[in-house]
Amino acid sequence: MQNTVGKTFRASEKRTPNYWKLSTFLLLYLLLFFLITKANVHEDSKKNITPITISYVTPTKNQTPIATYSPRPTPTAPIAQVAPTRGKSYGIFYPFSDGVTINNSLPTIIGKISQEDNLYLETVFRIEESPIYAEDDYHVRFIPGEIFGFKVKIDGIEIDKVFGTPQYPTIICKNINSYPGGVSYYDSKTGIKTPPDDFFNSEEECLANKKSEIPPLLFFTKVTSPLSEGKHVLTLEGKSNFKTMSFNIDSRYHLSSQSIFIFDKNSESYYYSDYDLLHGDNCGEGYYYDSNYLKVPIPLFDNPNLYYGISFPLSKEETGNISKRRVQISFENERFDLFFPQASIYYEGKSFMDTSDMLNPLHELFLPKDHLVFTDGSKAAYIDAYSIIPLDGSYAKGYFEVYPVDITGGYYGNSVIPRIVSGSSGCDG
């Protein structure tokens, strides 16, 4: 009997739960679950961050590295294109294919023509200082303003005034000689260069010997009364050439959203269209540089429906928005919309490099700063880049933006391309 009672007591003692142990295990489990969940959230948040990178152009001879601000999304799948903000077409550009349709009955007419065979701008022949070696050389300078010997007609009716500016402002009146390896020696004390250059001491001799370097002409004009809906013919008549192209006016026409992304096979990701950064600040001897001119690289992105304009935001809050700071060009108090297409439609400019006497293609346009205005008519000027973007380095002198807009005025505000104006090597572009 005594043994039976003892056994019964011990059995009931074993079945009693240990609440302290259970509580400890439960707390440890909850703590472990919290730590694992927090780690997963942290990893997910890192995946959703779009990196902003500062890249540097590899310098060539006589160059200083230039900081370029280039935010790029890095998704591995195509990006959904946001519909553009609708607007009116700025105008039509020549050369272009026939049948372009725009929704603006008062378009700006803008285009480029060659001046190799006939000059359409006034010129000045004078000695100017080389921007690199401080040499005094003869230059032919092309003066922006009204052009002569060139007519623009719409449906056979001539437009009264046409204005223009050169792709680059001057040509140097000498052949730049170099050793077979592409390097010359210049003694700044004696002013002697080895081997010596070939100089042309008159404008006629210079233009005859430097014919391939005469800059193309960028021309601007606009109609004075609204064009009717339907087809129209643009005619360009130069001193020795005749060109035509057709276009259509449809006030209700809009393009579907245009893709502004490129697929990079190496990284297997999509990114914004960018510029040809192969040539940074090439301030070599004979380089077409002028402190009054803003150097604008022309996008290489292959989409014939996209044009590009320029904006000078005056605060961080105005970046990515062209409503106040869109830049136009002005001649004799006449303002014109300023836009240009991709490089393959526009042109490939030419310029000397300091290491070779070979002409090199540059996807760049030089715009005269003293002719640039905002849409309210006030002078357009960019501001210090450091007030817009935090950058390391001492060569970022200014900041502006290039924005894509389609041929019917659709503005792609989420795809503005930032540009840094560099002050390195004494250059301004």
pLDDT tens for the chain, 429 residues long, are 444 443 333 334 444 556 556 566 666 666 666 655 555 544 444 444 333 333 333 334 344 343 343 444 444 444 445 688 999 999 999 888 788 999 999 999 999 888 888 899 999 999 987 655 567 889 999 999 999 999 999 999 999 999 999 988 888 888 877 766 666 777 878 878 788 888 899 999 999 998 888 888 999 999 989 999 999 999 999 988 888 999 999 999 999 888 776 555 565 555 444 443 333 333 333 344 567 888 887 777 778 889 999 999 999 889 888 988 999 999 998 999 999 988 777 754 443 333 343 444 555 788 999 999 999 999 999 988 877 877 655 566 788 988 999 999 999 887 788 888 776 544 443
CA distance 299 to 404: 10
| 40, 140: one domain | no
Specify the pLDDT at position 363: 57
| 331, 272: one domain | yes
CA distance 417 to 277: 13
Specify the pLDDT at position 218: 93
φ, ψ of residue 397 in degrees (nearest 5)? -95, -30
E strands present in 268-355? 269-272, 293-297, 306-311, 327-331, 334-337, 340-341, 349-353
CA distance 259 to 357: 39
Q: How far is CA 199 from CA 194, 205, 353, in A?
A: 14, 9, 18
CA distance 151 to 97: 20
Q: Which residues contact 105 (CB under 8 A, 6 or more apart)?
A: 226, 227, 228, 229, 249, 251
How many CB atoms within 10 Å of residue 303?
A: 17
| 20, 160: one domain | no
Q: Which residues contact 164 (CB under 8 A, 6 or more apart)?
A: 120, 121, 144, 145, 146, 147, 150, 217, 218, 219, 220
CA distance 241 to 114: 10
Specify the pLDDT at position 323: 85
Residue pair 204/104 in contact (Cβ under 8 Å)? The answer is no
Specify the pLDDT at position 28: 66
The string of DSSP codes covering 132-201 is TT--EEEEEEEPPEE--S-EEEETTEEPS--EEEESSSEEESEE----TTS--EEETTTTEEESPPEE--
How many domains does one find in the chain?
2
E strands present in 223-287? 230-237, 242-249, 261-264, 269-272
Residue pair 118/190 in contact (Cβ under 8 Å)? The answer is no
How many CB atoms within 10 Å of residue 329?
A: 23
| 40, 81: one domain | no
| 21, 134: one domain | no
| 42, 54: one domain | no
Instruction: Note down the domain range covering 40.
Output: 2-46
Handedness of CA 366, 293, 277, 260 (dihedral sign): negative
CA distance 251 to 228: 10
| 19, 125: one domain | no
CA distance 415 to 157: 39
Specify the pLDDT at position 26: 64
| 63, 162: one domain | yes
The string of DSSP codes covering 110-141 is EEEE--SSS--S-EEEEEEE-TTT--EEEEEE
| 175, 217: one domain | yes
| 27, 103: one domain | no
Residue pair 168/184 in contact (Cβ under 8 Å)? The answer is no
| 169, 240: one domain | yes
Specify the pLDDT at position 14: 44
E strands present in 195-325? 198-199, 217-222, 230-237, 242-249, 261-264, 269-272, 293-297, 306-311
| 180, 314: one domain | yes
Specify the pLDDT at position 209: 92
Tell me, yes or no, if the pTM score tops 0.75.
no
Specify the pLDDT at position 286: 38
Specify the pLDDT at position 331: 96
Helix, strand, coil shares of the chain, percent, nearest 5, are 15, 35, 45
